[in-house]
Amino acid sequence: MPQLIAGNWKMHCLAAEAVALAQGIAAGAQGIVAELLVCPTALHLAAVAQALHGSSVAVGGQNCHQAPQGAHTGDIAAPMLRDLGATWVILGHSERRMNHGETDELVREKTVAAVEAGLTPIVCVGETTDQRAGGAETEAVGWQLAGSLPKPFTGVLAYEPIWAIGTGKTATEEVVAIMHAFIREELVRQFGDPGQAIRILYGGSVKPANAKSLLAVDNVGGALVGGSSLDPREFLEIARAARAG
């Protein structure tokens, strides 16, 4: 299975900028062995999906509600994302967990909703600075895995050390190898043999300068890219560092 390079655009880009960014990525995607995905804000999802129609670049949302519809002002249902052209959705990102108080249980409910709507979920897990400093990083991630993933789980995992999100810090290859091996063990423990096939992305200040070394680590099935996904050249350079399988 090829590695997945997913771009999380977060709360960036006006409409014209989002379309131009998508077009720039699609124009340079030829010959890249990785699976490519971009996740714009929901406001621009339809325009980006239209700009990428017929290309090899998929489109995803950054979040969804756990209900398929209802009186939830300001929220977006998974079927709505699918209707706009999304085939993926990021769930449980550290910024959602911290800024909006999302719990493991809520992330699990959203994951179920996403799958029912025909979306492939990317479920994020990761430890804080204090948890790592206290030696509780695997315990923290283990609890998130146990609480956030429904059974069966057919999506993708993303390990994002919170201390490396938006800080410019990046986990060393050794840290990534240890945590991804732990996550793999937990996935196999929870899901049996199917846990071996679940891709585990690394997300934490992935840049062109470190992409090749990070993507070469065992059990790294791709990258969840933040800041560098807002530059077509940088995003494509990261994608070119990916392995075919």
Question: Which amino acids are annotated catalytic?
Answer: 93, 160
Cβ of 18: how many Cβ atoms within 10 Å? 22
- Which tokens sit at 41? 């804000």
CA–CA distances in Å: residue 5 to residues 35, 57, 139, 164, 243: 6, 10, 27, 18, 10
Let me know: does 113 contact 78? Beta carbons within 8 Å.
yes
Let me know: does 225 contact 165? Beta carbons within 8 Å.
no
Q: Which amino acid is at 198?
A: I
Token pair 């621009």 in the structure block, residue: 44
Token pair 């085939």 in the structure block, residue: 87
CA–CA distances in Å: residue 104 to residues 20, 196, 231: 35, 22, 32
- Which tokens sit at 68? 């398929």
- Which tokens sit at 232? 């077509």
Q: Which amino acid is at 80?
A: M
Token pair 């043999």 in the structure block, residue: 193
The closest of 144, 56, 151 to 106, measured between CA atoms, is 144
- Which tokens sit at 204? 């934490």
